[in-house]
Structure 1
Amino acid sequence: MQPYSGISRRLIASIIDIFVIISLFMFLELITETIDEALFYILFFLAMWAYFVFQESSTLKSTVGKQAVNIIVTDLNGNRISFIQATKRFILKIFAVIPFFAGFLLILFTSKKQAFHDIIAKTLVFIQED
């Protein structure tokens, strides 16, 4: 059985992922010069959605950040999550941030180290064995 990932690896993975997304958008803004503010936020949300959902539902089961810290996202049986499941997880992750990242603190208190979005989306985050 693979060990569940704790909060520290997940936090480092999130920081890496946010850095990748922000870097891509800084590059995009340089290319397009100026983007309407509303359009920027819509594109930012869609890019984040695509980034997380396509990678986590892929055969890699992880984003760039998760790969860097050697963790994967699976369903409750250890299988690759579906595109719909990854989308649900992404949207619920937004609610896990409000208020004060409280939904993520559940990782400290659940036996399978699941955050709010993991519990509702029925996902687990494992340390990937080599």
Structure 2
Amino acid sequence: MMEPNYSTDHPIFTQARYASFWERFGAAFLDGLMLGILQFIMRFFVEENVNTVLNFLVGWLYYAVMESGPNQATLGKKALGLKVTNMNGGPITFGQATGRYFGKILSAIILLIGYLMMLWDNKKQTLHDKLAGTLVVKA
């Protein structure tokens, strides 16, 4: 009987390279800087009460659309070579990206513990990653 010929040229499984705390911090800093400049400019053109709602919507849509889009990354993540994936390494949905955004608010409310969780997590997941079923990996 003839043995099947399996090629070993390509690895069957590749380990994800999870983004470090400082890589994620750098990406968040860049995103915050860009959004901050945009929000600063918007305040000159929009009434204060409308501006508050608009800032919230712009922030949510920026993160949700960019992270669930074809690049799977915000501009800050893209600049640092990072992307957001589901637990299988695939793209995330708009719903997952929305969950991540609101999870970040929760992470901040609890004294930033939600962000620091990644320091002792094997997959470097924050609270909002765990809530949304996502990973941040090197692209």
TM-score when scaled to structure 1? 0.91
Aligned position for 1:116: 127
Residue type of the alignment partner of 1:88: G
More divergent stretch after superposition (75-84 vs 19-28): 19-28
Note the 1:1-130 alignment, pairs <5 A: 1-30=15-44, 32=45, 35-128=46-139
- Deviation of the 1:117 alpha carbon: 0.4
Asked which structure has the greater CA Rg, the reply is 2
Q: Which has the higher helix share?
A: 1
Higher relative contact order (CA 8 A, sep 6+): 1
SS in 1 for 2:43: helix
> Identical aligned pairs, as a percentage?
34
CA contact (8 A) 2:19 2:137 kept: yes
RMSD: 1.1
SS in 2 for 1:114: coil
TM-score when scaled to structure 2? 0.86
Unaligned runs of 5+ in 2: 1-14
CA contact (8 A) 2:42 2:51 kept: no
More divergent stretch after superposition (42-51 vs 19-28): 19-28
Unaligned runs of 5+ in 1: none
CA contact (8 A) 2:129 2:135 kept: yes
Aligned position for 2:11: none
Q: Structure 1 stretches (4+) deviating beyond 3 angstroms? A: none
Residue type of the alignment partner of 2:50: L
For 1:113 and 1:89, how far apart are their aligned partners in 2? 15
